[in-house]
Structure 1
Amino acid sequence: MNVLVLHGFTSHPIRTMGPLPNLLRGAGFNVAQPTLPGHGTRPEDLRHVRWQDWLQTAREAYLALPEPRAVVGLSMGGLLAGWLAAEHETAALVALAPALGFKNRLAYLAPLLHPFKPWAYSTDPAQVAARQAKSPNYPNFPTVALTQLIALQRQLPRLLPRVRASALVLEAAQDDTVPEAAVQRYFSLLGSPHKEYRSYPSQHDMLLDPLAEQVSQDIAVWLKERLASA
């Protein structure tokens, strides 16, 4: 039983996935956790990365796993997971707070603003340090990288109806990044004949908040059931 786990935009590839990977391994799964290009190093490394680079890295890691294969993605990772499930005969798909939209509509100005506002957040050392103290994610990021995430968002809806894998979509009810409507749209577009929608009173980084252990356990149980039938 093999599972690809994909992190989100600006996320640390290991630390933002909380207890999930180790819990899956303890349940008997073989887990792959690729680092998507531009992540796990420094924010500047996102400047020249395209959304196709994220997809290709995820695709290569997925194809390196033996079948049956499942794919789990958080936020942007949920978009990439959906893409892979549309491309391949995936046994199961889990998307946590898939970032098919933003609560902050100003984010969609990034394609126009990035030449004039190169950083989405302040680079002031004090503010950077304060954000780093709260989260393992990048404390800021190049605005041009956000344009790549937006491009991925716009490509995905045409692919989701092709997904036939059993699917579990998790909404973070206290999400300050992705609106409920975007998660529901992702779910409704899925062509999966067997799909389930669950809501948790969680923040966007569902695997870092107090419910992370419960969310992880629920995913492991659900995957075990689906992959056993596969």
Structure 2
Amino acid sequence: MAQEYTVMKDAEPFYLPGNEMGVLVQHGFTGTTQSVRGLGQFLADQGFTVCGPRLKGHGTHYEDMEGTTYQDWIESTEEGYRKLQETCSHIVVVGLSMGGTLALHLASRYPEIKGVVLVNPAIEMSHLAEVAQMEEPRFFDAIGSDIKAEGVRELAYEKVPLRSFKEIIHLTDETRKVVSAIGCPTLLFKSLEDHLVPPMNAQWIYENIASSDKTLIELENSYHVATLDNDKELVMAETAGFISRLL
């Protein structure tokens, strides 16, 4: 019988009903919906319908994550997308870190998506290649909670499975191949100091995405988890404005 895992408090998926503009808000690698819930609530307060799925294997225990693949994470994203399609005529996809990678992957498969918002997205993770080629250890120390603001913590795993590093590299490699075919409006946020995903990732996407409607905003006072950091209000306001003009 498969191991049953309990979802951590504040890691639950969320759905906030609103108007015909749906917003899919996705957390990142080893993280939880806690990192994007504030952004999601802000967007719901503007009247949008917001769905924040919990990626499979996340928000429970890192051994649960070890048993999942990048295809599972894609499926979690698509489940959220299909849920929004039930009531929304337009959908924008927002993603933090690997959530941004998944947003791009989704946009490449569903060209009807109205736009994507990417916060420190991961697309080129060659700095993890050496780790991904290892056979041990089974788990590495945590990579979460890269936040500049004092006293703010991201709800994320304290360990990262080696297997999961291999999976995120597969996802970024696959997604990088389709960026040049994505033509929807794109808003990118890039923290100038990011200890997890090199800032050149967002720059590469900005330069290679097919969209003619694209904006790159630099965040000067936040690290990787910008949705919880000092620039979170800027991220919220710019994201809401971007979505509003797509209606």
Q: What TM-score, normalized to structure 2?
A: 0.82
Whole-Å Cα distance in 2 between the matches of residues 171 and 215 of structure 1? 10
Corresponding letter in the other structure for 1:146: F
User: Does residue 165 of the first structure (1) align with residue 184 of the second (2)?
Assistant: yes
User: Does residue 108 of the first structure (1) align with residue 121 of the second (2)?
Assistant: no
Contact 2:124 2:173 survives alignment (8 Å): no
Whole-Å Cα distance in 2 between the matches of residues 147 and 67 of structure 1? 36
**What corresponds to 2:13 in structure 1?**
none
Whole-Å Cα distance in 2 between the matches of residues 18 and 208 of structure 1? 9
Corresponding letter in the other structure for 1:5: V
Whole-Å Cα distance in 2 between the matches of residues 18 and 207 of structure 1? 9
**What corresponds to 2:7 in structure 1?**
none
Contact 1:86 1:162 survives alignment (8 Å): yes
Contact 1:157 1:189 survives alignment (8 Å): no
User: Does residue 11 of the first structure (1) align with residue 11 of the second (2)?
Assistant: no
Q: What TM-score, normalized to structure 1?
A: 0.88
Whole-Å Cα distance in 2 between the matches of residues 163 and 34 of structure 1? 23
1:165-223, CA deviations, whole angstroms, 9 ceiling, x for partnerless residues? 11101101121111122211122221112111111112100011122122111111111
Whole-Å Cα distance in 2 between the matches of residues 151 and 208 of structure 1? 27
More helix by share: 1
1:64-93, CA deviations, whole angstroms, 9 ceiling, x for partnerless residues? 212211100000000000111111111011
SS at match of 2:67: coil
**What corresponds to 1:50 in structure 2?**
69
1:97-143, CA deviations, whole angstroms, 9 ceiling, x for partnerless residues? 001234x82x2123321x32111218xxxxxxxxxx94311111111
Whole-Å Cα distance in 1 between the matches of residues 156 and 75 of structure 2? 22
- The sequence identity of aligned pairs, in percent, is 29
Contact 2:193 2:199 survives alignment (8 Å): no
Contact 2:57 2:64 survives alignment (8 Å): yes
SS at match of 1:116: coil
Whole-Å Cα distance in 2 between the matches of residues 194 and 214 of structure 1? 20
User: Does residue 71 of the first structure (1) align with residue 93 of the second (2)?
Assistant: yes
User: Does residue 213 of the first structure (1) align with residue 233 of the second (2)?
Assistant: yes
Q: Which has the higher contact order (CA 8 A, sep 6+)?
A: 1
**4+ runs of 1 displaced by more than 3 Å?**
none
Runs (5+) with no aligned partner, structure 1: 123-132
Contact 2:95 2:103 survives alignment (8 Å): yes
Contact 1:171 1:183 survives alignment (8 Å): yes
SS at match of 1:11: coil
SS at match of 1:109: helix
SS at match of 2:123: coil
